Homo-oligomer: A and B are copies of this chain.
């Protein structure tokens, strides 16, 4: 099979590339390398079944269309994943997430590509009232431009599937951790603690509850859904059945680093505007297809800290 992975040099995208190549598939990757990193593709680039195109899906959308020719499945991972600073550049989510997704759907339509997997987000549930939050939770209100842009993308994908006889798997991820991890709270905290091990500045009151998934469990879930889902539009939460507080996570990070900083909280239930005080997704639907995450949250956090220690250049 011929796959096309957008954001293929990114944290999750590059692991998907590796997994597909390991299964013997042909893989193209498109990435603008804005957050993706070429070293993530070190192994892939040695494989003759792999092609890499450094292009920006938004500004070079037209030039990307030919890369969809002959593709069986698009795995659309490219995104502006900066949730926290959305209000600093309010056009970025619209361009990089909403409009890019539309351009990809059009490129698929023009090339007769019929299947897409999409990296959506648990942020789409805004501040839900039901925990763990199932896929058919009450119609949510968006609290971040990032969540809104992913919601928009989900809607367009569904409409294209109905209008143009495509099939889709839409995955609402919790945050991923593990090797090649490059942005989020763990790297922020490790960076700080490398600089000043005696204290740690924390956004919010530390009681926000979050859920994390190991990137390898994420990759397995994405590929398993594509293989086994049977509907025209398939929406799956992807995560582990559990959550931890920011305080707990800090404890594991500090223990792994061997530091005992003073914790300085900014206070408030939310770390920033649009932050969810509580994330815990109901993952029974994807588990019903046979998905079994192999890593717990604690193991994922520790694994990530160890990766960052071993790859200190990531902290720069």
B-binding residues in A (CB < 8 A): 86-87, 90-91, 94, 98-99, 102, 105-106, 109, 126, 135-145, 147-149, 151-152, 154-156, 158-160, 162-164, 233, 235, 273-274
Given contacts A151-B151, A159-B148, contact A235 B138 (CB under 8 A): no
Given contacts A138-B137, A159-B143, contact A164 B87 (CB under 8 A): yes
Beta-carbon contact of A141 and B94 below 8 Å: no
* Closest chain B residue, CB of each to CB of A155: B148
Beta-carbon contact of B137 and A148 below 8 Å: no
Identify the interface centre among A139, A163, A233: most chain B CB within 10 Å of its CB: A139
Instruction: Report how many copies the assembly holds.
Output: 2
Q: Which residues of B contact A141 (CB under 8 A)?
A: 158, 233, 235
Q: Which one, B105, B139, B148, B163, contacts A152 given CB within 8 A? A: B148
CA distance A105 to B152 in the complex (A): 16
A263–chain B nearest beta-carbon distance, Å: 27
A152-B152, A163-B273 given; name 14 further pairs at CB < 8 Å.
Answer: A86-B159, A87-B163, A90-B109, A94-B99, A94-B102, A138-B139, A142-B155, A145-B156, A145-B159, A149-B155, A151-B152, A152-B155, A162-B274, A163-B274
* Closest chain B residue, CB of each to CB of A272: B163
Q: Which residues of B contact A143 (CB under 8 A)?
A: 158-159, 162
CA distance A163 to B152 in the complex (A): 17
CA distance A102 to B137 in the complex (A): 26
Beta-carbon contact of B163 and A156 below 8 Å: no
Beta-carbon contact of A159 and B144 below 8 Å: yes
Q: Which residues of B contact A136 (CB under 8 A)?
A: 138-139
Beta-carbon contact of A139 and B137 below 8 Å: yes
A81–chain B nearest beta-carbon distance, Å: 15
Instruction: List 6 A-B residue pairs with CB atoms under 8 Å apart, sorted by A's residue number.
Output: A87-B164, A99-B99, A142-B158, A145-B156, A152-B155, A159-B274
Q: Which residues of B contact A137 (CB under 8 A)?
A: 138-139
Q: Which residues of B contact A155 (CB under 8 A)?
A: 142, 147-149, 151-152
Q: Which residues of B contact A154 (CB under 8 A)?
A: 142
* Closest chain B residue, CB of each to CB of A232: B141
Q: Which residues of B contact A139 (CB under 8 A)?
A: 135-140, 235
Q: Which residues of B contact A142 (CB under 8 A)?
A: 154-156, 158-159, 162
Beta-carbon contact of A273 and B162 below 8 Å: yes
* Closest chain B residue, CB of each to CB of A129: B136
A270–chain B nearest beta-carbon distance, Å: 10
Beta-carbon contact of B138 and A162 below 8 Å: no
A135–chain B nearest beta-carbon distance, Å: 7
